[in-house]
Structure 1
Amino acid sequence: MMPFPAEAVSRVKVLVAGDIMLDRYWFGEVDRISPEAPVPVVRVARREDRLGGAANVARNIVALGAQASLLGIVGSDEAGGRVAALAREAGINSCLVTDDTSPTTLKMRVLGRQQQLLRVDFEEGPGTQCLDRLDALARQLIAQHDMLVLSDYAKGALDRVEVLIAAAREAGVPVLVDPKGHLYQRYRGATVITPNRSEMQDAVGRWKDEDDLERRAQKLRTDLDLEALLVTRSEQGMTLFSEEGREHTDAHAHEVFDVSGAGDTVLAALAVTRAAGLSWFDAVLWANRAGGVVVGKLGTSVVNAGELS
């Protein structure tokens, strides 16, 4: 495995566009059951906010030593203000579109004794005017970056993903997509897409063996005019499909504690190492290592270059 290209990574500029979320954690102690209903009573002792979704990808890119700009939509609310503040603290260049009619996507988790007891989601899709502003801003920003990463969580910011891919192709900027859903024609013309095992099954159906998977994956890759397709497979590792064929690496995790945001870390590591000049498969090896580190942490977390080395 090639050494981590820290010096080259430090010169990389990545634009992350997609669904921005705020991950809010309430940590507490549980020592009794509520008399009102058969549920635990959590006495909250600590609160913590973290960047989620596309914002977590950008946070991971900065943690790995590269430069990240974040393009997405937030509400004109307290959660949107927290996203802007956390991005600033993390050293991310924020290019946020504010929606006055819809709230910031917020995932609130309640944890007791390091176990997640409850998650409450607040979300609404953005309006047409916000998407118009996002598209216009994207056209200005894409050519200033070495890579465009599209983080799709199906919250609405990438409803016009085809427009962003076309703009990047026109500018000669590679596009990495973390996809959602099964309508993969939306991502036609991207450079690489990174579905997980479940998302790949949604897109191509269930495969009966590795040869069948390779046939389906290569057909999808050529149908979508992709340079490469990476299937992330949890404990089974990662499999890359390209013109060179199939290349596989086994999972790197020693202990799985929490998979929240692991896909964001994998996407970030793949983007920065590929933009730094590594081959697709060498970039996959580093992405696999980053994913193996982050699942040993609690909640939406990041991996830095020191931890990888």
Structure 2
Amino acid sequence: MAVVGDVMLDRYWFGKVERISPEAPVPVVQVHREEARPGGAANVAVNVGALGAVARLLAAVGEDEAAQRLAELLHRAGVETDLLRDPALTTTVKLRVIGHQQQLLRMDFENRLVTHAATALLARADALLEGCGALLLSDYGKGSLAPVGDWIRRGRSRGLPVLVDPKGRDYAPYRGATLLTPNRSEFMAVVGPWQDEQDFLARGEQLRRSLDLDALLVTRGEEGMTLFTAAGPTHHPARAREVFDVTGAGDTVIATLATALAAGWPLEPAVDLANRAAGIVVGKLGAATVSVDELRAACAARLE
């Protein structure tokens, strides 16, 4: 499974809030624990590996401590990595401060990928895709996939399903992909607000047709997810029992979908599996993964 896109390091500072600062009306967090996890496209790759598939990750990072930490975490997770290190880049870091199980603050450290780095990534496409069963493109708007159309054409020319987690208000660059997986707010930013469910379905099908997609999957939070294909739309209700954190849920969805499709699953059952995976991962803190055993248990519970 080939994964390309914008990687980042998710850092978490956990602590207690027991007083307000005398310097400003802000809480004082007594930090007692720190964690770091792969984020963005790196989290997609880790999710693929957690499902038992081999994940190959291609991405650009800086020459900094965050890049080294990210590489260590990916190695520990068993992800095959090809990280292009560029001193002109700052590895994206998202730092979240957590107090009493609530996110109090997020700080982002990042810059946009320079053109030559994106070109260098594309030059490694053939080596990356050799022997892979699917191509996952994780776009967080940092520039790794520019131009994304070239990646889509490379994957489709090899007969691979190309799945894209999109970003931005213009989806024209994603034309010809196998499947797009926008969330509700991302979808609304592209098609505009809808009046009712029928209007939503019409806008989804119009977008699918205009982009020449095999399928469009809109994840809708507590409303579940809706799949658009040439056969018509189908809705999958939400499966979450408890929602703790939606961070990285989209990564889990696209990773599960691609893994199932590469294994030969039909699209509808693959979407159902991805829906169940999303229901599990939103019950965990931060960018997390779902194991095969957890999915087996979720599917078994459905049959009881």
Report the counterpart of residue 77 of structure 1 in structure 2. 64
d(CA) in 1 for partners of 2:96 and 2:202? 40
User: How big is each residue's C-alpha offset from its partner over 1:176-199, in whole Å with a ceiling of 9 and x where there is no partner?
Assistant: 001111111100010000111111
Return the letter of the residue paired with 1:19: D
Match of 1:296 in 2: 283
Corresponding residue to 2:17 among 30, 34, 46: 30
Does the CA-based 8 Å contact 2:89-2:113 persist in structure 1? Answer: yes
Q: Which is further off, 18-27 or 34-43?
A: 34-43
- 1:292 maps to a residue whose letter is G
Partner SS, residue 2 of structure 2: strand
Please identify runs of 4+ aligned residues in structure 1 that moved more than 4 A.
none
CA RMSD, 1 decimal: 1.0
Matches within 5 A, 1:64-143: 64-143=51-130
Which of 210, 213, 226 aligns to 1:223? It is: 210
Aligned ranges for residues 55-70 of structure 1 at < 5 Å?
Answer: 55-70=42-57
- State the Cα distance separating 1:217 from its structure 2 match: 1.6
Moved more, 16-25 or 154-163: 154-163
Q: Give the conservation status (yes or no) of the 8 Å contact 2:122–2:151.
A: yes
- Identify the range of structure 1 (217-226 vs 115-124) with the bigger mean alpha-carbon deviation: 217-226
Q: In the comparison of the two structures, how many residue pairs are matched?
A: 296
Tell me, in whole angstroms, the C-alpha distance in 2 between the residues paired with 1:200 and 1:300: 22
Report the counterpart of residue 4 of structure 1 in structure 2: none
Deviations 1:168-226 (A, max 9, x none): 12222110001111111100010000111111112222222222222222221122111
Provide Cα deviations, 1:123-161, integer angstroms capped at 9, x if missing partner.
Answer: 101122211210101232123211000111111112211
Deviations 1:49-93, CA, capped at 9 Å, x for gaps: 000000001111111111101111111100000111100000000
Contact 2:58 2:128 in 1 (8 A): no
- Corresponding residue number in structure 2 for 1:149: 136
Any stretches of 5+ residues in structure 1 without a counterpart? Answer: 1-13
Check whether the contact 1:99–1:126 (CA below 8 A) recurs between aligned residues: no
Letter in 2 for 1:244: A
1:242 matched to 2:229? The reply is yes
* Other structure's SS at 2:149 match: helix
* Structure 1 residue aligned with 2:272: 285
- Matched residues, percent identical? 56
Give the alignment partner of residue 243 of structure 2, picking from 249, 256, 259. 256
Alignment match, 1:9: none
Match of 1:307 in 2: 294
- Larger RCO (alpha carbons 8 Å, 6+ apart): 1
Gaps of 5+ in 2: 297-304
Q: Return the alpha-carbon distance in structure 1 between the equivalents of residues 35 and 212 of structure 2.
A: 42
Q: Can you list the C-alpha shifts for 1:224-266, whole angstroms capped at 9, x where unaligned?
A: 1111111111011111110111111100001111111111111
Contact 1:143 1:168 in 2 (8 A): no
SS at match of 2:113: coil
Residue 205, structure 1, aligned to residue 188, structure 2: no
The answer to which of 157-166 and 204-213 deviates more is: 204-213
CA contact (8 A) 1:143 1:173 kept: no
Partner Cα separation in structure 2 for residue 203 and residue 108 of structure 1: 28
